[in-house]
Structure 1
Amino acid sequence: MANEDLAALVRTIKDYPHAGIMFRDITTLLLDGTGFAACTERLAAAIITPPDLVAGIEARGFIFGAALAQRLGVGFVLLRKQNKLPGRVTGVNYALEYGTDRIEMHADAVQPGQRVLLVDDLIATGGTALAGLELLRGAGAVVDEAAFVIDLPDLGGAAKLRAAGISVHNLLEFEGD
């Protein structure tokens, strides 16, 4: 596996939050300064077209997105859960396994035509990432790349993003999750 050094820093917690789930915990990677720095550098190196902004999905996407924005020398946009941002917001509702959720950003965070890189720690089913994509594109952003530390390919989220015209970059893959 590529990036074996980083994979060794990701803890797997069996049966969390439900029986049968193998939770990939990146907090152990974050505890390792060298690993976290390598993660940021490797994600930055994978980006094809320099963005104007990086958008991170709440909550762990804030960590990697902000580090990546700093490394790339660009601003950072927060994509947050409903009612977490002050001021005027724009949002998108999206389906969950049991119900719906909403993701929002400040209405003035992105200007039409700005190139935005979408970032989160992990891509699983893709629901939240697709909602973030819809939100950003709805504001006129050009979004054609997304970066994740981990992809769970069996759940199909990265494939859904590719079908939406996104180049998906990830450092690690864990099968069977």
Structure 2
Amino acid sequence: MSYAPANPPLDAAEFVKSQIRTVSDWPQPGVQFRDITPLLQHPKTLRVLIDLFVQRYIDAQLDYVAGLDARGFIIGPILAYELNIGFIPIRKAGKLPYKRVSESYELEYGSATVEIHEDACKPGDRVVIVDDLIATGGTMLAGKKLLERLGAEVIEGAAIIDLPDLGGSALLRSAGLPLYTVTGFGGH
């Protein structure tokens, strides 16, 4: 059975975008921070957002939603609950208590590492990775590598926001990861 999800209705995607707050010059001068907390504060916007993801994945025959530390932990478990599947946390290094596998990646100024438990999934499990936004793509790519190392099939990367000018979505697609984002913002 082939999986061919539909794009979100324009009005729902535009509604979600209209609820994202832009904070100028945070965390440093020149940065336009895209704040999703207004989406979470109102039941209607949270429901519309989650429903977009549920509609996207309801027929995908997924086994897990994997959420990236930290804002992927907000929408990921809700989505997993709605799809009646499990949730896999992909954490920053040093946060998981059991045996784990790690993947390091480069940041603009340094590097970072993410980890999952070695028994988080098994070969053949179908997983979607979720985060709040795609910027440089490093965290999501590291998450994809971790899941694939455990034998999972990563179906897609999903995020509320794409910041295409930062190059992450192009990097992820070139690494073979299909992407779904509800909305996007040009610039930084």
Tell me how far 1:111 sits from its aligned partner.
Answer: 0.5
1:89 aligns with 2:95: no
CA distance in 1, matches of 2:137, 2:76: 17
Higher relative contact order, chain-length normalized (CA < 8 Å, sep 6+): 1
1:138 aligns with 2:149: yes
Secondary structure of the corresponding residue to residue 179 of structure 2: strand
CA distance in 1, matches of 2:180, 2:32: 22
Q: What is the aligned partner in structure 2 of residue 103 from structure 1?
A: 114
CA distance in 2, matches of 1:160, 1:110: 25
Q: Is the 8 A contact 1:144 1:165 kept in 2?
A: no
Give me the TM-score of the superposition, normalised by structure 1: 0.96
Query: Structure 1, residues 121-142: CA drift from partner, whole Å, max 9, x if none?
Result: 1001101110111111111110
Moved more, 129-138 or 155-164: 155-164
In the TM superposition, 1:3-152 aligns within 5 A as: 3-47=13-57, 49-152=60-163
User: CA RMSD of the aligned region, Å?
Assistant: 1.3
Moved more, 94-103 or 55-64: 94-103
Q: What amino acid does structure 2 have at the position aligned with 1:64?
A: I
Q: What amino acid does structure 2 have at the position aligned with 1:152?
A: L
Gaps spanning 5+ residues in structure 1: where? none
Moved more, 42-51 or 73-82: 42-51
CA distance in 2, matches of 1:76, 1:63: 11
Query: Structure 1, residues 15-63: CA drift from partner, whole Å, max 9, x if none?
Result: 0001110000001111011101110110122236231001000010011
Q: Is the 8 A contact 1:58 1:78 kept in 2?
A: yes
Give me the TM-score of the superposition, normalised by structure 2: 0.90
Query: Structure 1, residues 54-99: CA drift from partner, whole Å, max 9, x if none?
Result: 1000010011111111111100000000110111111111111111
CA distance in 2, matches of 1:170, 1:43: 9
Secondary structure of the corresponding residue to residue 172 of structure 1: strand
Q: 2:165 aligns with which of 154, 163, 172?
A: 154
